[in-house]
Amino acid sequence: MSNILGFPRIGKNRELKKALENFWSGKCNHDELESIARSLREKHWQIQKDLEYVCVNDFSLYDNVLDLAYALNAKPARFKELDGLEGYFAMARGHKNGIACEITKWFNTNYHYVVPELSSDDNYKANVESIKKQYNEAKSLGYKPKISLIGIFTFFGLSKIIKGEKQEIFSKLKSSYLDLIDEIAKLDSEVVVEFSEPIFAQGLNGLDSLKCGYDRNAIVCIYNEITKKGIKAIVSTFFEHSNEFTEILLNTNIYGIGLDFIYGEKNKESLQAIAKSNKILHVGIIDGRNIWVANIESKLEFLDSIAKIVPKERIILSTSCSLLHIPFSKDGEEKIDSEILSWLSFAAEKIKELTILEAAFKGNIDSNVKEFLEKNKQINANRAKSSRTNNKTIRDRVAAYKLIQRELEFSDRIAIQKEDFKLPILPTTTIGSFPQTNEIRALRQQLKKGEITESQYKEGIKEYIRDCVKFQEEIGIDVLVHGEPERNDMVEYFGEQLNGFVFSTNAWVQSYGSRCVKPPIIYGDVSRTKAMTLEWITYAQSLTKKLLKGMLTGPVTILNWSFARDDLPRDEVCKQIALAIADEIDDLQNAGIKIIQVDEAAFKEGYPLRSENIKKYEQWALESFKISTAIAKPSTQIHTHMCYSEFNDIIKTIEALDADVISIETARSGNEILKVFEKVGYTNEVGPGIYDIHSPRIPSIEDIENQIKALLEVLPKEQLWINPDCGLKTRKWEEVKPSLKNITKAVENIRESLK
């Protein structure tokens, strides 16, 4: 028997995305949307037909956390009168009655869920209709359904409490959650429900985040009550081990427990205890977060080692987590060459692997299975020995590399830079990108399709750069940028030029709602063949006497936003990327570029879920950044940019990056975040985002002056830069022009007043 925790819902060709966008723009009605959703579910179940169960309620029109909030009537007050899809999408996307609920990252993935807002004024009420509909659909098609449901502890732990006491809200929520289970129990004689409790994988810290004194008793009581309703309850955790909670769950009457043995190998420590219980064990053994073909042989060995402890009859094979985090299938993938393609396995292929693994594990080896196993062995052998995954020159370079520090300490470097640059106080700059216009997008597309020549393309990009530089000069920005018109995406742009990366045509993964991303795939050793940004940046510099800031994406961000190979440790992959970026920095500085920004927008995303693993990550992430930047001469000023606002926990690491200047997202919190920098005695320079670029609103001169004054209360003027809080590529020129003009005017006024 084998099992998955969920299937990608967006559709093979992103049918759901298209249907949703048509629905939102009024081009299709509710029935049409529903019929597309139904046909997607049907197709996705068809792919799961050889599994023990097909997953039900893993499908969602937007997000599963939102689905559960909606099924419990946990709606924010501003949307109380709205119901049906109107209320549902109001929470997800906003409505004239009020702004949308926040979205945030689902644990350490790039999937974002809608954050429920809970208040003591809420009236929770269970509504099983949507689950019932999907359950009956699956049954009528002849499948055996298993319902996926987010566990109450995870749901509550991820929610935001708007008003009232946590305890009180939890107990109200719990009773309607139990009502929902009651309704679910009525669907069939013995309904199988898989409760996802990834919050348990954060260890006791995860439970702390519930902050309502939940102890083992609460967990035992609730899961016992759930079981009493007459369902088969399986509680699953993923993304890490959850040993502390396995121990608790084994004291309940639940039917089974699901553990991730890919990202939580330590779950092995619980095997003895599981063996002593009578519970079924779902062994998460096929990687649900990565895209590489499984090594069936070594997985079998691993399973055999588990089966030495837990009786085979009680073992069910499973994916490590929902397949939501990987693309649909390799079918029709044309851009990737056949060798690399053979190394890949997306959701549909993973299901096949699971059923083969199951057959082999149980000893049911017919000719099909045998053939698959042989082929799998070959593929893995080929991948391991291919020169594309083992480049001796790159490996030797990384092995021989000894981390050097920058030549001088910050105080000496900045003295040299200040002397050279002669910038005024409160220097102004931007984060890199300027508006991506339709013309610029079309230009890049035309080049890709071969509709224009390379030189026509270059002329178009240069024209944009000229306009961009001219505008910045006109309004008096101090440190200019070229505007990034040649980049579709800050990671893809570099990945496309680096060795070791491939790009798919259709390997989309849902990021949130209808938004999907197509992460680059790092299959081999990474290196740079030639300069990647030099031409554009030196061109821009040639147009102005002012300082022009070169723009690069940092190694940690490139890694964190890609599907990384699983046959080399992440820190090694990161070091390879770091050296490639170091080469680029060197080229830029040798060509006369004096300021270089190394963006680390996803630095924080790579933080591990469990606090005990943080140190190790920080160490290699930091080292990678330093490998890239250590090559900078003292006179080259290194900037970095991070677009989030939570620096409390990581400020020491930020400090250790030793960037000469860091620009951060602070606009929405006044000067609060900057205080963290002050508190630790941060000496390097800081550019706190002066206005929020995520909103179309144009900040007035007065707004900006006030914001600068607030910042000056925290840090001395010598340490501050003035800039927007992120890149401007998603904004329109009509918004960017007045906003930046107001910045330069406000800064002029402040400088005057400081004289």
Binding site for ligand GLN (CB under 6 A): 431-433, 484, 490, 551, 599, 601, 641, 643, 726-727, 729
287 binds, among Zn ion, ligand GLN, none (CB under 5 to 8 A by kind): none
Q: Which residue is nearest to Zn ion (CB)?
A: 643
118 binds, among Zn ion, ligand GLN, none (CB under 5 to 8 A by kind): none
Report the residue number, 609 or 726, with the smaller CB distance to Zn ion: 726
Under the criterion CB under 5 A, does residue 643 sit at the interface with Zn ion?
A: yes
Residue with tokens 């439970």: 207
Distance CA 567, CA 552 (A): 27
Q: Which stretch binds Zn ion (CB under 5 A): 67-75, 130-138, 635-643, 698-706?
A: 635-643
Closest distance of CB 509 from Zn ion, Å: 21
Distance CA 637, CA 547 (A): 11
433 binds, among ligand GLN, Zn ion, none (CB under 5 to 8 A by kind): ligand GLN
Report the residue number, 524 or 724, with the smaller CB distance to Zn ion: 724
Distances (CA, A) of 42 to 31, 59, 112, 131, 135: 16, 11, 25, 15, 12
729 binds, among ligand GLN, Zn ion, none (CB under 5 to 8 A by kind): ligand GLN
Closest distance of CB 598 from Zn ion, Å: 13
Report the residue number, 617 or 644, with the smaller CB distance to Zn ion: 644
Q: Which two tokens stand for residue 162?
A: 């708007």
**With contact defined as beta carbons under 8 Å apart, do 346 and 314 qualify?**
no
Q: What is the x/- site pattern for Zn ion, positions 719-738, by CB under 5 A?
A: -------x------------
**With contact defined as beta carbons under 8 Å apart, do 660 and 638 qualify?**
yes
Distance CA 504, CA 310 (A): 40
Distance CA 284, CA 304 (A): 14
Distance CA 606, CA 618 (A): 9
461 binds, among ligand GLN, Zn ion, none (CB under 5 to 8 A by kind): none
Q: Which stretch binds Zn ion (CB under 5 A): 187-195, 328-336, 523-531, 639-647?
A: 639-647
Question: What is the size of the binding site for Zn ion (CB under 5 A)?
Answer: 2
**With contact defined as beta carbons under 8 Å apart, do 721 and 661 qualify?**
yes
Query: Is residue 112 among the annotated active site residues?
Result: no
Q: What is the x/- site pattern for Zn ion, positions 682-721, by CB under 5 A?
A: ----------------------------------------
3-state SS string over 269-315? HHHHHHHHCCCEEEEEEECCCCCECCCHHHHHHHHHHHHCCCCHHHE
Q: Which of 44, 282, 325, 694 is catalytic?
A: 694
599 binds, among ligand GLN, Zn ion, none (CB under 5 to 8 A by kind): ligand GLN
Distance CA 102, CA 218 (A): 28
Report the residue number, 218 or 726, with the smaller CB distance to ligand GLN: 726
Report the residue number, 72 or 481, with the smaller CB distance to ligand GLN: 481
DSSP 3-state assignment of 656?
Answer: helix
Closest distance of CB 461 from ligand GLN, Å: 16
Report the residue number, 55 or 431, with the smaller CB distance to ligand GLN: 431
**With contact defined as beta carbons under 8 Å apart, do 674 and 666 qualify?**
yes
**With contact defined as beta carbons under 8 Å apart, do 109 and 289 qualify?**
yes
Closest distance of CB 288 from ligand GLN, Å: 27
Report the residue number, 113 or 603, with the smaller CB distance to Zn ion: 603
Distance, CA of 192 to chain centre: 30
- Identify the DSSP state of 257: E
**With contact defined as beta carbons under 8 Å apart, do 57 and 129 qualify?**
no
Closest distance of CB 643 from Zn ion, Å: 3
Q: Which two tokens stand for residue 111?
A: 């999937």
Closest distance of CB 585 from Zn ion, Å: 20
Tell me which residues are annotated as active site.
694
Q: Given the rule CB under 5 A, which residues bind Zn ion? A: 643, 726
